Structure 1
Amino acid sequence: MIPVSLSWIAEKVEGTLNTKSVEELQIKGVSTDTRTLQPGDLFIALVGPDHNAHDHLFRALEKGAAAIIVSRPVDCPLPLILVDDTKAALGKLGAAVKQQVNPKTVGITGSSGKTTVKEMVASILSVRGKVLCTKGNYNNDIGVPLTLLRLEKQHEYAVIELGANHLGEIAYTTNLVKPDVATIVNAAASHLEGFGSLFGVARAKSEIFKGLSTNGTAILNSDSQFYSFWEGKTSHLNCLTFSPESGHGDYHAEDIAMGMDGCAEFELVCPTGRAAIRLSIPGTHNVGNALLAAALSMTVGANLEQVQLGLFNMREVSGRLNVKQLSNQIRLLDDTYNANVASVNAAIDLLATFSGNRIFVFGDMAELGEKARYYHEQVGEYAKSKGITSVYSLGVLSQFASDVFKQNGFHFDNKEALVAMLNKNVAYEQQDISILVKGSRSSKMELVVKAIEESPVGKFERRREGIAC
């Protein structure tokens, strides 16, 4: 965070500083959690449905907080700024720091793929200069302002991911971020309990364009069923399109070829020319993500050579469709970060490209509302249509996917039983084996990945050859 004075902070959050003697006290960090608070930080006491940080002010004092922001008078020896709403103050402060640093800013939302696109854009722009991007799941109404508060003077670019589970959340965060260019990767069945319907998802995602100025640029998915709706929301803006499927967008791909590692090579076609692209992360769906990343990056100054280099050098994102070669014969596709119908189908598409025995290990998809059973059955039908060999399900709803496979569908109540059956069924396989593990965060499928890695599956070849393990 850039160093700012307490008086500057009080002005920006529209609060009252309780003493003039510390007006010029310099703050270099902000915390909303006493567990991670560093000495000298400003502590903002947030109030939530299940907690009230005003109850932990003396803990903040013990950890070395320099000052606090509160929404009620408190008995505390620390300098304090009194505001009406501490959450609103956090947002105002994040927006003020962003305005002060003034980096070129990219805003990204979508039902799936937004983190991958964010990482692609950050990799491309890092070829040009210093980039700040969203870490982890800091993409909500608390995480976004905390991300903005990490900005420092040397940051030339900010790549901000905006997520939501209810209407109005992205409208709020995009007005803090005020991006120069913004996009919706896609809209799919996700968080339906908060949005009500698939159209509700599309409408909520469209809020990202509210933060763009009239000279800002919107990048639209021309292949989306909601393209016309989003186009209507952006008629006053500069607009470009990307086409992950049809090849008709301003940014599209030609001559797509998949390598043995599942990574794509293709010709990127855009308004300024063409470039040969080689991706370092697997999945056909990442061609579309790369097209979008190129469009976003080039809108804020990147050129084709920087797009090539940034995409080629991009590091894999933990839990997001990482291919792990357990042995010469067995590969494990770890895509456990989160799941909705679109992202699950994309992972199935990659699994289907491999030869041999293709096993789908599936955990529940969360927050799908009253049609949850239908969406899980739909995933099962899609997997069957793509030639997947078998489904191993874990959870309640995922059983509806494995049921589609009848005798090749297996359902389990715990990961130990699932991994034991997996080991038993592949014990004497003579063909290649590819195992995809996918599910929502609440399913904790990363624990299944760990259990598979630690099981005899990874020692398959030695066991088949009769060598003791």
Structure 2
Amino acid sequence: HIGVPLSLLKIGSTTEAGLFEMGASHPGEIAFLTDMVKPNAGLITNISGAHLEGFGNLEGVKQCKGALYDYLNAHAGTIFYNADDPVLTEMLEHRTIRDHVIPYGISKQPLHTSLEDGVLVITVSGYPQIRTHLAGLYNTPNVLAALAVARYYGIENTRAAEAVASYIPSNNRSQWIKTGRNALIADAYNANPVSMSLALKNLDSIREGKKCAILADMLELGAYAHKSHRGIVEQVEQMGLDQVFWVGPLFSKAVQDLGAAGMCFARVEDLIMHLGRRPLEGATVLIKGSNGMGLSKLIASGVC
């Protein structure tokens, strides 16, 4: 309700296009923002169990985000969608939306992905190889979305690939950071059960060297909080990580209930003090949690 209006006010006489990220944590917010922005095109990245405290359940998330599809369909706008995502596909089919739809996805084009020195490298048919600055194979759909939008708007394939390769993430979103001690997968801007699980699968796919995880509570999950944290702890237990650090009361409770491995800390400041005395060395370290848990302080502290 603040960021989008401020962004709209920056549009001037020389502006050729506007790109707006619309987030929501309660019902009706995407409809409100869509009416404000009046987009010509749009995409929903995914439907996941984020902000369930405000939405009530996953159906509430679908209804809220689906307002973007409704607006674009009513105004002959263009919808880009991940054809590999069954939830998004079902949402379009339920609305019988068939016109002005641009699919993208792994199933839609020949491609090859790999992790090289921690970052995603992707080769898509018709494009030069793209070495991104993004940590994690889970960013593949995001790259494909960017390429689909670029192609629709007439951006030449080589230019689009160069633009994606030149993008450097910030704000602890999918950042690959090499320190004097470790290699960090800094993904601590936000967290929900789906993104947490994908980040852990990405860590598990790294076959060489010492691997550790620093995981902080996922906030705003409401009645799903305990089950979601317990599920992540169970996933970590199957990974055989060298060290695990849990931050926050929700993960601490799940670890205690399951008798799981790892050290628990009430606050990120306590973990910073611990690692200051007993630093990690020579590891790939996933740092993941909700922004409100303050893991950015850990990354900025230099103890990792």
User: For 1:297 and 1:402, how far apart are their aligned partners in 2?
Assistant: 45
Mapping of residues 41-190 of structure 1, within 5 Å: 141-190=1-50
- Residue 255 (1) aligns with residue 117 (2): no
Mapping of residues 362-401 of structure 1, within 5 Å: 362-400=215-253
Identity of aligned residues (%): 28
Correspondent of 1:415 among 259, 264, 268 = 268
Question: Shift in Å at residue 274 of structure 1?
Answer: 4.4
User: For 2:254 and 2:82, how far apart are their aligned partners in 1?
Assistant: 29
User: For 1:426 and 1:143, how far apart are their aligned partners in 2?
Assistant: 38
1:434–1:265 distance in 2 versus 1, CA, 3 Å: closer
Question: Shift in Å at residue 449 of structure 1?
Answer: 1.9
Correspondent of 1:435 among 280, 285, 289 = 285
- Residue 334 (1) aligns with residue 186 (2): yes
Question: Shift in Å at residue 332 of structure 1?
Answer: 2.3
Structure 2 spans left out of the alignment, 5+ residues: none
RCO comparison, higher one (Cα < 8 Å, 6+): 2
Whether the aligned pair in 1 keeps the contact of 2:133 and 2:175 (CA below 8 Å) is no
Q: Which has the higher helix share?
A: 2
1:216–1:415 distance in 2 versus 1, CA, 3 Å: closer
- Residue 240 (1) aligns with residue 97 (2): no
Whether the aligned pair in 1 keeps the contact of 2:81 and 2:103 (CA below 8 Å) is yes
Work out which of the two has the higher radius of gyration on C-alpha atoms and give 1 or 2. 1
Specify the alignment match of 2:121 in structure 1. 265
Question: Shift in Å at residue 394 of structure 1?
Answer: 1.4
Residues paired across the two proteins, number = 301
TM-score (norm 1): 0.59
Whether the aligned pair in 1 keeps the contact of 2:212 and 2:243 (CA below 8 Å) is yes
Whether the aligned pair in 2 keeps the contact of 1:362 and 1:439 (CA below 8 Å) is yes
Specify the alignment match of 2:51 in structure 1. 191
1:218–1:394 distance in 2 versus 1, CA, 3 Å: same
User: For 1:222 and 1:385, how far apart are their aligned partners in 2?
Assistant: 30
1:309–1:369 distance in 2 versus 1, CA, 3 Å: same
- The code of the aligned residue for 2:95 comes to K
User: For 1:411 and 1:288, how far apart are their aligned partners in 2?
Assistant: 33
Question: Shift in Å at residue 183 of structure 1?
Answer: 0.7
- Residue 282 (1) aligns with residue 135 (2): yes
- The code of the aligned residue for 2:124 comes to L
Partner of 1:187: helix, strand, or coil?
A: coil
Whether the aligned pair in 2 keeps the contact of 1:263 and 1:280 (CA below 8 Å) is yes
Partner of 1:157: helix, strand, or coil?
A: coil
User: For 2:93 and 2:241, how far apart are their aligned partners in 1?
Assistant: 37
Whether the aligned pair in 1 keeps the contact of 2:114 and 2:137 (CA below 8 Å) is no
User: For 2:141 and 2:62, how far apart are their aligned partners in 1?
Assistant: 18
Whether the aligned pair in 2 keeps the contact of 1:283 and 1:349 (CA below 8 Å) is no
Partner of 1:378: helix, strand, or coil?
A: helix
User: For 1:286 and 1:445, how far apart are their aligned partners in 2?
Assistant: 21
